[in-house]
Amino acid sequence: MAPATTTKRTLSTAEARRETVLEAAMGVFCERGYLGTPTKDVAEAAGISQAYLFRLFPTKSDLVVAVAQRANDRIREAFVKAAAQAKAAGEDPGEAMGRVYGDLLEDRTLLLNLIHQFAAAASMPEVAEASRASFAELVALVEQETGRDAESLQRFFAHGMLMNTMAAIGAPGRDERWAQLLTGC
Amino acid sequence: MAPATTTKRTLSTAEARRETVLEAAMGVFCERGYLGTPTKDVAEAAGISQAYLFRLFPTKSDLVVAVAQRANDRIREAFVKAAAQAKAAGEDPGEAMGRVYGDLLEDRTLLLNLIHQFAAAASMPEVAEASRASFAELVALVEQETGRDAESLQRFFAHGMLMNTMAAIGAPGRDERWAQLLTGC
DNA sequence: CGATGAAGTGAGTGACCGCTCACACCACCG
DNA sequence: CGGTGGTGTGAGCGGTCACTCACTTCATCG
């Protein structure tokens, strides 16, 4: 790893390692999910030993929750940025947020982490709590930025969840009629 | 299990046993998902030995695919039945199908198997294929029975996927504003 | 009856999993 | 210089996993 270029200790090295690990974990978890992926794979992808992984995240559950929160954070940040840019350009923030969500789903890693998160929520209360907190923030954000009514907001998020599912099962790109119908914008 | 104490033992056919196993498997898989649930738990829930489970389903993957298909079958059957009843009663089949999907999600077992199926689709091509086949049938069915246009069909399924997700993360029943907004009909 | 084949299981197997521990390394400080 | 505290690891531990095999029990039929 490259050492910090300059400065004094603004960020601990362990903290930076944790960032590396979370990034690598998202990439590894997205294939077989949280329960299906061994911690050894995460450690290898992050370029550290399994022993050190367990010092950075005391249990696998801790790691999973952190990964889920990171995925949620990434979505929220993208929404905030898209809304700000749209407002500055005098465009519709709602449309910009919908478009940016579609762009996010192009990143298969993020998308799969999302659906693994929802699946894991069934047996991990902390993950479920993180998911709910994320939806709370996202709904508030979209409502505030767009001023849409309840039905319109529900449609916005429903469309997002459909796109999630379609991407997960590999529907986009298929030329069957049903796939084009459900994935079409 | 039951006939162990008595000297008599009533054998069942392998086919009947497979049905029992699939039913039990849905109940056990729904908690921790396909990769997170050991086959031992499935065998116990079905009341057979692990060894015999592996004679009925040669690999865990075979079992998982069969369970996914069974969940999909159950939804399709419910849709067909609801549409037929609605038509016979002179009601709107589309509304009936939407309502019956809401009823199906009351069964947490089925709902969780659905989202675990979508998650598993990421690493199990056969599961992904089963999911796609199910969507193909469902879309054709709803379109045929309701005659709705593309946008309306997409909204129908999008709403279903949102309900899936909300139920999975435990949103229904919460009194936070966002939850009522997204789960409200 | 004895034979045949399907139903069903106890007792493993090797591989793998989450997690731990003793210890090495390195930068900095007095 | 030695000490201190954080970074990092090799080697495993106990337990669990998917899967197997030798074996028993049962129903059926000539």
pLDDT tens string B104-150: 988 999 999 999 999 999 999 999 999 999 999 999 999 999 999 99
Interface test with A, best of B113, B156, B178 (most A CBs within 10 A): B178
For an interface test with A, give the residue of B75, B181, B183, B185 to mutate (most A CBs within 10 A). Answer: B181
Q: Is the pLDDT of residue A10 over 70?
A: no
- Considering only residues B14 and A26, tell me which one the structure prediction assigns the higher pLDDT: A26
Give the CA-to-C1' distance from B4 to C19 in angstroms.
39
pTM of the predicted model over 0.75: yes
Q: Residue A129 pLDDT more than 80?
A: yes
Q: Which residues in B lie closer than 8 A to residue A118 (C-beta atoms)? A: 115, 119, 165, 168-169
Q: Which chain B residue shows the shortest CA-CA distance from A141?
A: B178
Closest to B77 (Cα-Cα) out of B101, B107, B106, B113 = B101
At position B105, the amino acid (one-letter code) is L
Return the pLDDT at B185.
76
- Measured CA to CA, the distance from residue B132 to residue A111 in angstroms comes to 18
SS percent in chain A: helix, strand, coil, step 5? 75, 0, 25
CB neighbour class for A169 (10 Å; exposed up to 12, middle 13-18, buried from 19): buried
Q: Which two tokens stand for residue A179?
A: 């796939």
Question: Which positions of strand D lie within 7 Å of protein CB atoms?
Answer: 6-12, 16-22, 25-27
| Contact between chains at B118 and A184 (C-beta distance less than 8 A) | no
Instruction: Give which of A57, A58, A51 is closest to A22, Cα–Cα.
Output: A57
Look at residue B1 and tell me whether its pLDDT is greater than 80: no
Is the Cα torsion angle B75, B81, B86, B92 positive or negative in sign? positive
Per the structure, the residue whose CA is closest to nucleotide D12 at C1' is A51
Give pLDDT tens digits for A82-107: 999 999 999 999 899 989 988 998 89
When pLDDT is averaged across residues B14-40 and rounded to a whole number, the result is: 96
Contacts of B158 in chain A (CB under 8 A): 155, 158-159, 161-162
Structure tokens at B72: 């999909």
Average pLDDT of chain A, as a whole number: 92
**pLDDT score at A12:** 65
Q: Does residue B7 have a pLDDT over 50?
A: no
Task: Flag whether pLDDT at A161 surpasses 80.
Answer: yes
Q: Around Cβ B25, how many Cβ atoms within 10 Å?
A: 26
Confidence (pLDDT) at B9: 56
Measured distance CA(B165)–CA(A110) in Å, rounded: 16
pLDDT exceeds 90 at position B162: yes
Average pLDDT over residues A60-87: 97
Mean pLDDT confidence for A101-121: 94
B2 touches strand D (CB under 7 A): no
Residue A11 confidence (pLDDT)? 56
**Percent residues over pLDDT 70 in chain A:** 94
Show residues of chain A in contact with B174, CB under 8 Å: 132
